[in-house]
Each structure stands twice: as C-alpha cells, then as structure tokens.
Structure 1
C-alpha cells in the first residue's frame, strides 16, 4: 500500500507547468490549429446564416442545406476546443496523471488529431460544395481558412505517424480509427437525411441508421480507458462482434429499403446540379449507406478473426 501511494505521489509531482511545450513543433501546431479553427468559426458565425439562407432558397430550399451548415460549424468549434484541452493538459503535464489511470495519452492525442483532420477537411469540402461560387469573395475566404485548418491537423497526423513513427494502441491504430470512420459516416448520413417525412419505409431507414450510432462511442471509450475495460462484466470482443453483426444486418436492410422506396418513381430531375439538388442529396444518403455497410462488414470480419487469435495493427 505504501509503495502504491509513493508511486502516485511521484506521478503527481511530475505534473508541473511547462510553458516550453508551446514552443515545440507539437505546441506550435496546436496553436495554429486553434487560431485557424476559431477564425473559421467566427467568420462563419458572422455572415454564414445569411449565406446559407440565400443559397437554400435560391438552390434547392432544402433543410439539408442548413444541416450541412450546422455540421460544419460544429466541427469548426469542436476540433479547436478539443485541441485547446489537449494543449492545456500537456502544458501542465497532466497527461502523466491520465497515464496513471491506464490511458495511453500519446494514442489518444494522435487519434484526436486524425479524427479532427477528417472532420475539418470534410467540413471544408462540404462548405465549398454547397456555398462556394466564383463571385463569392467571403465564401472563398471561408473555404481557404477551412482547408488551412484541415491541413494543420493533417500535418500533425503526418508528424506523429510518419515522421515520429508513433504506434497507436487503439484510437490511433486501425481498430479504433475504423470505429471513428463508422461514426463519421453515420454523421454524414444524418446531416444528409431529407425527403423521408411521411414515408414509413424511409422513416424505418432513419431508425436503422440511429440504432448502432450511440454504441460506437461507448466501445471506443471502453477500449481507450483500459481500467474501465477490466470492469466490464462481459467479454468486450464478443460483445463488439454481436454489435457489428447487428449493425451489418441493419445497414444491409437500409441499403435495400432506401434506394427502392426513395428512387422508385423518382428519377433524377432534368435540372439537377450536383451541389444544389435534393435528389443528389438523397443519393448521397444511399452512397453513404453502402460505404458504412462496407466499413461495418470489414470491421466484423477482422473482429471475427480476432476472436480466433488474429490481431490487426
């Protein structure tokens, strides 16, 4: 007991204020990410609402346009906020305390950078696709800042995974990031959903998309927090296999129902620009459904192999 307390005391003594962490490559990248993310968010908040309303009315008057905007604004707020939290933790060396509770801080930080790069680059692409035009100077500025923000996160991923050759234990490795991809594609489906109101079979598809989604972050949290995993009263790998099998079945059903009941008797309109057409957005839901079906099916196959002793990196 005394040795354990001494170890805890020694660990706590390492949590000291280290301003030099801000001057390293990682600290400078974090500050750049925060500045670019906040600048993009502020520019979007100042003029974005009017821009969205104009394009929604002029283009396809679809609630989906507003959902894409909300998603982009969320990413530009969430990613810098998480980066700020990580920066503060590393500034005060609080990560040594988190390591004491069996949290692989390096894996978590790199995994967050990978997820943030995915979110910010996707948001920049979405914004450019829906709200950019040749004469829109403000939109060009927004797009430029958004892509620079995504590039800053991507640069951190390159630094961690290629230059520093950091090996992830879960979130920054294939198993964890695969779960992040599944959750990310699910979010893209949610922000693209439109045209299902009053149609029971399409409403059922929405339910099928929703059911697996909240379980993904729970699986990620249990795997990231090693001590929490030990407290789970069941075999997590077997539970993950059951979850993935259910997810594959649900998405397979949605992959049949959504195209059939959405596009039967609903051909592509003659005037349907790729960016501003409700039909094109509805098609995106179908495509994302097949993408997530593939992700869940691949994850299921690797999990099944893992139950028989095969380990992926």
Structure 2
C-alpha cells in the first residue's frame, strides 16, 4: 500500500468518504434521477475499499483475473462514472433552469451562518470540487494501471 497505486487507492477512498459526508442529506439529489445517478461514488468506494482489503490481506491472487487487470478495469470504470458525475452534478446543482439557486447569497440556509452548519450551496460546491479531485486521482490511477498491464519490462 506504500506504492503509488496503493496511495492513490487510499486517496480515492478518503475523498469518497468526504463526499459521502457532504451528500449525507438526500435533499441534495433526490429531486432528479440524474443526480441520483451521480451517487455512483458508492460503487467506486466499495470496489476501492475491496481492493485495499485484498491488498492488505495478501489475497490479490484470489481473483479470477490478474490483479493488475482488475485494477485497470476498476480505474476505467471509476473514471467513466466520475466523469459523468462531474458533468451532471454541477449541471443540476447550479443551473437555475432546474429550480436551484445558483448563488450562495440566495441560499437561505447560508444566511444564519451557524458555525456548525454547512449550508446547502456549500455542500453542493464541496461535492463538485471533491468529485473533480477524485476524478483526477482515478485518471492518474488509470494511467498507472494501464502502464502496469500494457508495458512489459
């Protein structure tokens, strides 16, 4: 786990946990089917956590396919899912055509400024930024995994 792909998996899983904290309130995504699709973070999180557990338990040889191929498939799937989420989430969360307020100043939950409350607009923005960060991590993971599978030394 101290290698580059291992550290990327830990980063991806940690960022997914942070995303889960910000989308813990279903009112952020229950109005639109496209936003419910964006909660694909769970699929990527479970597979990344499974990868970490397999690696820590030295059980990578238990898979029916080579572990590097599994990592490549996981990275490719995650890049595709996160890319769609990165397009759909901001489109439906910040576009006034879908009935949401696009500016923080118009969000009534941001007006009271309770230091222990994260307003809805800030949650939307945090999920967008964290999705972009995780997409970049998965792209790096995809490049590294593709190098492991296709470049034979």
2:7 corresponds to which residue?
177
How many residue pairs align between the two structures? 138
Change in CA separation of 1:224 and 1:198 when aligned onto 2, cut-off 3 Å: same
Q: Return the offset for 1:294.
A: 0.3
Measured after TM superposition, the shift of residue 201 of structure 1 is 1.4
Gaps of 5+ in 2: none
How big is each residue's C-alpha offset from its partner over 1:234-293, in whole Å with a ceiling of 9 and x where there is no partner? 211111101110100000000000000111012213264697421011110000000000
Q: Does 1:204 align with 2:47?
A: no
CA distance in 2, matches of 1:188, 1:177: 17
Q: Which of these residues, 116, 129, 133, is aligned with residue 287 of structure 1?
A: 129
Q: For residues 172-214 of structure 1, what are the alpha-carbon distances to aligned partners after superposition, in whole Å with 9 as ceiling and x for unaligned?
A: 23221210110000011111014212222111111x2111111
CA–CA separation in structure 1 for the residues paired with 2:105 and 2:61: 58
- Equivalent runs, 1:14-93 vs 2, <5 Å: none
Structure number with higher relative contact order (C-alpha < 8 Å, ≥ 6 residues apart): 2
1:309 matched to which residue of 2? Answer: 152
Larger Rg: 1
Q: For 1:214, what is the secondary structure of its paired residue?
A: helix
Which of these residues, 213, 233, 240, is aligned with residue 45 of structure 2? 213
Q: Take 1:232 and 1:224, find their aligned partners in 2: how far apart are those partners?
A: 14
SS in 2 for 1:299: helix
Identify the residue that residue 259 of structure 1 maps to in structure 2: 90
Q: Cα RMSD (Å) of the superposition?
A: 1.9
Aligned to 1:35: none
> Any idea what SS the aligned residue of 2:152 has?
coil
In 1, distance between residues paired with 2:67 and 2:125?
A: 35
SS in 2 for 1:216: helix
Deviation of the 1:231 alpha carbon = 3.2
Once the two structures are superposed, what CA deviation does each residue of 1:107-155 show, in whole Å capped at 9, x if it has no partner?
Answer: xxxxxxxxxxxxxxxxxxxxxxxxxxxxxxxxxxxxxxxxxxxxxxxxx
What TM-score do you get using the length of structure 2 for normalisation? Answer: 0.81
TM-score w.r.t. structure 1 length?
0.41
Partner of 2:104: 269
In structure 2, the partner of 1:296 is 138
Distance 1:231 1:279 in 2: 44
User: Which residue of 223, 238, 259 maps to 2:55?
Assistant: 223
